Structure 1
């Protein structure tokens, strides 16, 4: 007997959203916070940016290796739980190893920071993002739009925690990170106990859509698990499809300049001197970035779900272009333009992490999502990895306005690539690979916007 469709995300779905939000916050705290609040004591901005970049590249390599067997991996949740536990352990090292002491302690701290960054990337932006695709294959835009609130919220409280870390001129790093550690541990335990790999394992439904019997839902789950083992979208097929690159490169550039710029907000805003006073100073600007980041995350998530990922990404790329133009023409005499530029960057800050999940779920089959995402995410992360280092180099060599000129250029390139992307071409490739593998052809991808 058919059941009525359930609105919302369901209790278990909300638990998953909370879990991945805490994982995104962990990614922000472990990888990005040290760049913003610890660089002066821990070896300098360029030194920490280099460590971040190297760690992110290693994370990319690990993800590409994982992509070769992710379709055969029975439990992505277990991988996520392991990476979450390691992230927590390495965060403890970041908190308690006195990396401000030159010599062996500083080297040890840098190693812990680098490895922790790798684990945090694998935790939220890889493993748990795959879980979202398995739970909400057609509603991932709305789900990720809420979960990515973690990015603007995390970025918005940097000022307050930086003040805590250096209160009285003495480093109190553990105090600065302690609230986040507690949140991460609670989120990790909740996910470990209450979130399985598939909703059908606990009597829930994909997309929280109960328009089928439990038996039908279970049969679909088992068929999908089996099909993942024989996915036609192996790494070589994915990487040789032109449209994969047309949509993945803009996703990476959006990440690069949202993450890269937000890790350097202290240094960029410092160029305005007293000009920020009318906007509430550093704390006031960061609060605005947080508020508009929340709005952007939600709105772009809704647009992703309603209009399709391509249109939502084009809108985000236009916003990036506007941000670049505003920042490029700003000056200490016109600090409002810089504030506006950072607000525009904040609008797509959370959504930029949403898009890597959305594009793989939107334009490829459910059975192929895991393997395609396992290629999309590391490549986008690789582009993003060079963000903090590039921003630091531009800042030191040419000043902050050059950063925004490059942002504007990236916006133009991204818009062009997105306009070239064709979901019809992806379907044609899918048909070719399925036919060669002896799999049935259908119109499952025909209506993807």
Structure 2
């Protein structure tokens, strides 16, 4: 390669994703928005509103989210295998429609049993759309620009945290519980229908190449996978591969800590003397700052690679939580901003790390194993959070436990080869050597 040609695809920081590519990014960002709204942050309004409308005990209603999450771990194994068979376009569209219909069912639920069934369906469908099908789309469309692409898609996470709660609150107050949820559900259904009509599982299906590169660049810098859709992988082979377990542990711990921190952030800040309104406002600020974190760490990932990006992220997160543990007003303000950056970055790595390690060839199968394993690690957050509170006796003490987990995650991250099975990067390495 001459000096002029050294700017290979993985080193290119331009955002020339093309019209089709940008639509895939926006589609995934919207799926993340509904994911956060339907199954996570939106429950802060939906659960108490359902309790008030039906007279059912609020703690019982709240516990149904745990039930839905536990059932989801098993469901994701099935959904991920369906993704292997039918492809990300069909799965994402059907799951979005399923999530919307289930959300309507949730709005019309009148008993704890029907609420639990509806919430479980919503959780399974929306995670299937965003995390299983959506992450597969990103891996296929942007194998070498996934850092930059994720920097935009995960903005949907943060916008969901910042805007969905006031949106669902306004809709319920204006139209009532059932209609308020139903009108929001229509948005997911419409997105699913549009996705089925316009999204393609791979760029080649619409005459394009990954990362929106030219045919010449693709033939020179990418590996042609031939007809083997699974890239030579089987489920058993993946389960015997060390890197699969390392990916699941690294991302699982990241998400475990993030879930613990965000679920307790308002309670933590009210315990430090902030009013409920001020503490809730700080959480909204945290989510909005997360938009910056999404892009910032996406750019770091693109520039320096996912392994270095994760190590920088973990160090940043440790400092953020340590500052919060000073229990000072200024410390809270600084830490909320830093936590916002970290939370915005965390979701980037859910697809970026396994896609970097295993590549796009067979990623649909890789994700079918990785995502359920990662979810199992994530779901231990209930046990870890309860144990941390019991052992330390305070949320401050729990934060020190989180810092310890993040340090352990740094050591695990140091052990991983971030491009070990990535065939596109193997071609690139040969090109550089030649």
Aligned to 1:315: 312
Deviation at 1:212, TM superposition (A): 3.4
What runs of 5+ residues in structure 2 fail to find an aligned partner? 1-8
Report the Cα distance in structure 1 between the residues aligned to 2:365 and 2:334, rounded to whole angstroms: 38
* Contact kept in structure 1, 2:168 and 2:181, CA below 8 Å: no
Aligned to 2:396: 401
* Contact kept in structure 1, 2:83 and 2:91, CA below 8 Å: no
Aligned-CA RMSD value:
3.6
The alignment covers a number of residue pairs equal to: 412
Report the Cα distance in structure 2 between the residues aligned to 1:163 and 1:202, rounded to whole angstroms: 40
371-380 or 113-122: which moved more? 371-380
Aligned to 2:3: none
Deviation at 1:96, TM superposition (A): 3.3
Aligned to 1:76: 88
365-374 or 313-322: which moved more? 365-374
Secondary structure of 2:216's match? coil
Deviation at 1:445, TM superposition (A): 7.8
Aligned to 1:86: 98
* Contact kept in structure 2, 1:64 and 1:378, CA below 8 Å: yes
Deviation at 1:78, TM superposition (A): 0.9
Deviation at 1:253, TM superposition (A): 1.4
Deviation at 1:302, TM superposition (A): 1.1
Map of 1:27-46 to 2, 5 A cutoff? 27-40=35-48, 42=51
Aligned to 1:14: 22
2:422 maps to 1:422: no
Per-residue CA shift, 1:38-94, capped at 9, x if unaligned? 4446367764564333333333323334555755x2522111211111111111123
Report the Cα distance in structure 1 between the residues aligned to 2:428 and 2:71, rounded to whole angstroms: 33
* Contact kept in structure 1, 2:92 and 2:134, CA below 8 Å: yes
Deviation at 1:133, TM superposition (A): 1.0
Is the alpha carbon distance of 1:160 and 1:80 closer, same or farther for their aligned partners in structure 2, counting shifts above 3 Å?
closer
Report the Cα distance in structure 2 between the residues aligned to 1:157 and 1:29, rounded to whole angstroms: 9
Deviation at 1:260, TM superposition (A): 3.8
* Contact kept in structure 1, 2:97 and 2:193, CA below 8 Å: no
Deviation at 1:213, TM superposition (A): 9.6
2:55 maps to 1:51: no
Report the Cα distance in structure 1 between the residues aligned to 2:430 and 2:378, rounded to whole angstroms: 31
Aligned to 1:300: 297
Report the Cα distance in structure 1 between the residues aligned to 2:343 and 2:40, rounded to whole angstroms: 13
124-133 or 181-190: which moved more? 181-190
2:123 maps to 1:117: yes
382-391 or 143-152: which moved more? 382-391
Is the alpha carbon distance of 1:31 and 1:195 closer, same or farther for their aligned partners in structure 2, counting shifts above 3 Å?
same
Is the alpha carbon distance of 1:85 and 1:148 closer, same or farther for their aligned partners in structure 2, counting shifts above 3 Å?
same
Is the alpha carbon distance of 1:392 and 1:37 closer, same or farther for their aligned partners in structure 2, counting shifts above 3 Å?
farther
Aligned to 1:226: 227
TM-score normalised to the size of structure 2? 0.82
Report the Cα distance in structure 2 between the residues aligned to 1:130 and 1:175, rounded to whole angstroms: 33
Report the Cα distance in structure 1 between the residues aligned to 2:295 and 2:58, rounded to whole angstroms: 32
Secondary structure of 2:41's match? helix
Aligned to 1:141: 147
Deviation at 1:301, TM superposition (A): 0.9
55-64 or 388-397: which moved more? 388-397
Aligned to 1:106: 112
Is the alpha carbon distance of 1:15 and 1:68 closer, same or farther for their aligned partners in structure 2, counting shifts above 3 Å?
closer
Is the alpha carbon distance of 1:306 and 1:444 closer, same or farther for their aligned partners in structure 2, counting shifts above 3 Å?
same
TM-score normalised to the size of structure 1? 0.79
2:355 maps to 1:361: yes
